[in-house]
Amino acid sequence: MEKIVFLDSASIIADIRRPAFPHAWEDYPATNPDQVLARLGDASIVITNKVALRRETLEQLPGLKMIAIAATGTDNVDIACCRERNIVVSNIRNYSVHTVPEHVFMLMLALRRNLLAFRNDLRDGAWQRAGQFCLFTHPVRDLHGSTLGLIGHGAIGQAVGRLASAFGMKVLIAEHKGATSVRSGYTNFEHTLRDSDALSLHLPLNPDTRNLIGTREFGLMKSGALLINTARGGLVDESALLAALQSGRIGGAGFDVLDTEPPRPGNPLLDLDLPNFILTPHIAWSSREAMQTLADQLTDNIDAFSRGSPQNRVA
């Protein structure tokens, strides 16, 4: 009988259906790195959202057959080692194709219409002191007629593009940075930066994409442009972002992710009190509906593995 161990079950708020085949189930709300080996000693299937499973750990788990990642990202698991050891790895796909795009547009609308700045004015009594019925202390800009640049055009990027079109925005899809040719339907990376009123990032984090946006890229953007990042914090050089915001080089930024999570005290973005910067705590993916879809797919992946036909397989 298979033994399934969920290492960080508190990371998902959902009704997790148990697999259909006979099994023993053990879950822990959270697991520290020094607890992993002891908890997986006799496990054949492990579920992890963010707990890391590196080579030095996997090599000490001869009975492990499957890793079910309760997320799309796989950077917390040594995929190469799993392939060497014939450990099946499955992830979750397309569960957040509604909730992340909605979060993107929440950030974009709030920044484009200066929501935080107007809220601060209200708190300071500016409207109450105004000589007319409305307050014109900050510009309000429409999304309609503006240009959105998409960097990354997978399922979520495509969904963001559809919403943008519904708002009446022009959508540019960026070609890979440094590409020597541009595919049909795509726009040169640098031209996308120059021509967009807002940029939205939808890429995985890997050696090719780390610090994709830095000082040089901010220098290419329009002075009023917005940068939205609901993907991975490491895609953007945080020190360059801070400088671009403080100097007014760009119009604003809405981030749901940071390079280190949870963030450590001293990260200057945590204390950045500007009306054109919004930081949310990695929640774009986490609507209750999306988490339930994730949980259902997680169990489906494990059931498919037990039938000998793994789905959403990455190793």
Q: Which residues are catalytic?
A: 232, 261, 282
20 in Cβ contact with 55 (< 8 Å) = no
Of 162, 180, 182, nearest to 171 (Cα)? 162
Number of H helices and E strands in the chain, helices first, is 10, 11
Residue 32: both structure tokens together? 């520290």
**For strand 252-255 and strand 277-279, is the pairing parallel, antiparallel, or unpaired?**
parallel
Task: State the Rg of the chain over Cα.
Answer: 22
* Residues in contact with 35: Cβ distance below 8 Å, sequence separation at least 6, in sequence order: 28
Any alpha helices (H) in 124-268, and if so which ranges? 155-166, 189-195, 215-220, 238-247
Alpha-carbon distances, residue 259 vs 75, 124, 296 (angstroms): 13, 34, 29
172 in Cβ contact with 183 (< 8 Å) = no
